[in-house]
Every structure is written in structure tokens, then in C-alpha cells.
Amino acid sequence: MTRLISLLSDFGTKDPFVGELKAVIFSICPDAKLVDITHEVERFNIRMGAFMLASSAPCFPTGTVHLAVVDPGVGGQRRPIAVETNRSLYVGPDNGLLIPAAKREGIRRVYHLTNELLMLDRISSTFHGRDIFAPVAAHLACGTPVQETGEELTDYVRLSFGDPEFDRRGATCKVIHIDHFGNVITNILQQDMARLKTRGKLTIALRRKRLPTRLVRAYSALGGKELGLIVGSHGFLEIAGRESDASKRLSKKRRHDPNSKLLRVVKSYLICDERLRDISTIATVKTPVTHILGSVDY
């Protein structure tokens, strides 16, 4: 039976890149079924792509081949890989993009894609998504054993959203994503909430600002201009507003404004440094016994 293939990239839809991926897949595996997760990952933002892939992968049936391409290192020393987990296969660059999703499912083996018989005859140094990843994913979807893609490796690049640090005052966490609606998603998981003492008054402290907040179960429970804490659909604690963009209030300016602090932080990280590290503190949520510290870490 042909496996389902999911697609995720930072290609956008203006250019023909996504169409070329699909054309290659269908030329090799005509019966393939494709699902687009998104092609609107911010350009070169590996961490954003990893979050989106890890968030959506659990929704797919067992046996899915996940093809993901956010690949600023294309044509360089970065290796192409396939990851076998307890329920899926992943194909993409060895830059950490695939690992958070794969790790949740239990990684069995990781393979360095070296079998050129599974790739296109001509390989561009700038489009491995079309010439390497898409054909390999198509072959896997049509039944080629993953062991035939290349040699097993163990020194693949790891990427983690990090773990919140808990102490008697509360927890220190990172902002791992800001979604389309402006919800500020932290790396505190739902199962961590029991370790936070969230009774009493909560305050979001942004530099010299102090914004009152509270823990709610639904966005509709918030007032029109109120900020709240909510566990979102992917199981992470979010700072959110009711029908409003919480990130704008935390960054003080519109998050799409090229002069906003939030956007400058993201851009400088992507251009200057792909290592995982804190860059700029944006918010603190605290009670007399609890604080939640957020920092932009794309």
C-alpha cells in the first residue's frame, strides 16, 4: 500500500518550487497521496519549521512519510537524511528540522542519503528538495525499504525546544513560536502545569511594563484587551489575547514592522547564528511564588 506523504517547507507559493516537488513525487509514485502542512515557514527558520512539523505530525496516520525542507545549508556540508521512527519516516536536511517530531515518536535509526539510484539523475546544488528529498520520499512511499537509502549514522544534528527550569519561585521558559494569530507559545508543556503554583494574581512584566493576566481555558474567557495564559491545542502554555495579537503587546510594536524589536531579534538570529541560545527577554509572568520568564529563541 502506498504511504501518505506530508510536505512542509519555507518555499512559499509565489515560485514553482512546491509544484516541482509534487511533480517529481508523482513521476516516481503516481499513486502517492500528498498533504501540505505548510509552505509558509519563515525563510531559513529551521526552528519554526521544526515546531510546525512536530505539532502536526501526530495528526497523521502511522506509516506517513514526512518530507520537510527548510534548508539554508543546501549545497554545503549539510547531509541529507532519512529518519525511521516507531510510526513514521522523515526525509530532509540534517540540520535539526526533523528531530523534535521524530523524537516524540521514538527514533529507531537515522540514515545518510547516499543511494543515488533513488535520486534524480541531475542534482542541483541549490534545490535538494526537488532532486534528492522528493524522489527519496516518493520511493519510500511506494515501498522501498528505508535501509536502502544509505548508511546508518548516529551523529545527526539535534534540535530541542529546551526544557523549562523550575524552582521554588516558579519556572523559567522560552518562547518557541508566535503563531498566525499572535499567540506567544512557550516551551512549558501541559503536563508541567502541575509544577506551577498559578493561584492568585498573575502579572506579565515587560521591561518596565506590568500587564495583569490570568490562567483561562478558552480565548473567549478573556476580556477584549486582556492578556491571558492558556494551554493551546498542541499542549504548550501560550500568552494570548481575545481576538487580538498578544505578540504586539509584548513587543510594543507590530510584529510585522521591520523596526520592531521582536523582528530584529529573529532576523539577527537567523543571519548570524543557528545555534540554540537565548537572545532577548520579552516577558515575565509572576506571582509571589511563581514566575514564567519568556525569551525569544528562534
Within 13 Å and on the Cβ side, how many CA atoms surround 273?
A: 11
Whether 104 and 182 map to the same domain: the answer is no
Q: Which of 133, 153, 173 is the last residue of a domain?
A: 153
- Spatial distance between the Cα atoms of 39 and 55, rounded to a whole number of angstroms: 15
pLDDT value, residue 52: 97
User: Region 199-205: what's the mean pLDDT?
Assistant: 62
Model pLDDT, residue 257: 40
Q: Report the CATH number at residue 245.
A: 2.40.30.90
User: Are 171 and 214 found together in one domain?
Assistant: yes
For residue 276, is it within any domain? Answer: yes
- Is the confidence at residue 211, as pLDDT, over 70? yes
Q: What is the DSSP letter of 48?
A: H
Alpha carbon 59 to chain centroid, angstroms: 15
32-66 pLDDT per residue, tens: 999 999 999 999 999 999 999 999 999 999 999 99
If we measure between CA atoms, which residue out of 208, 245, 207 comes closest to residue 225? Answer: 245
Q: What whole-number distance in Å separates Cα of residue 62 and Cα of residue 280?
A: 39
Domain edge (last residue) among 89, 121, 153: 153
What would the grid cell of residue 217 be? 481555558
Q: What percent of the chain has pLDDT over 70?
A: 79
Question: How many secondary structure helices (H) and strands (E) does the chain include?
Answer: 7, 17
Same structural domain, 24 and 138: yes
Query: What residue numbers bound the domain in which 132 lies?
Result: 4-153
Q: Is residue 134 part of a domain?
A: yes
What is the secondary structure of 197-234 as a DSSP string? Answer: ---S-EEEEETTEEEEE-B-SSGGGS-TT-EEEEE-TT
